[in-house]
Amino acid sequence: VEITSAEDRAAFMSWFASIAEAQYTALSPDWVYQDCSGLLRYAFVEALKTKDAAWFDKFSYLPEWRLPPVRKYGYPG
C-alpha cells in the first residue's frame, strides 16, 4: 500500500489514530488479535476501509469521526 497524496496521508493517519484510540475506550468486537501488533494491523486495515453506516456501527466510540476519507483506497473494494 502506498498513499501518495498529502491529503490521503493526513486522512489515513487521522483515521488510524482515531481507530487505535477508540480501542482503549471501547473494544470493537471484530478486533480479533488483541495485542500490540494486532492493534496496528486492525487500525491500519480499518483506516483504509470505506466508512459507511455499517462500518460506523462497529464502533461504540470514536474520538474523531468527521474525518475525510482516504480517497485512493476503499478497502476491500
**Per-residue pLDDT reduced to its tens digit, 57-66:** 888 888 877 8
**Cβ contacts of 51 within 8 Å, gap of 6 or more:** 69
pLDDT for 65 equals 78
pTM: 0.88
Q: What is the mean pLDDT of each run of 10 residues along the chain (77 residues)?
A: 93 96 92 94 95 89 85 73
Q: 19 near 62, Cβ under 8 Å?
A: yes
Q: Cell numbers for 73, please give them.
A: 483506497
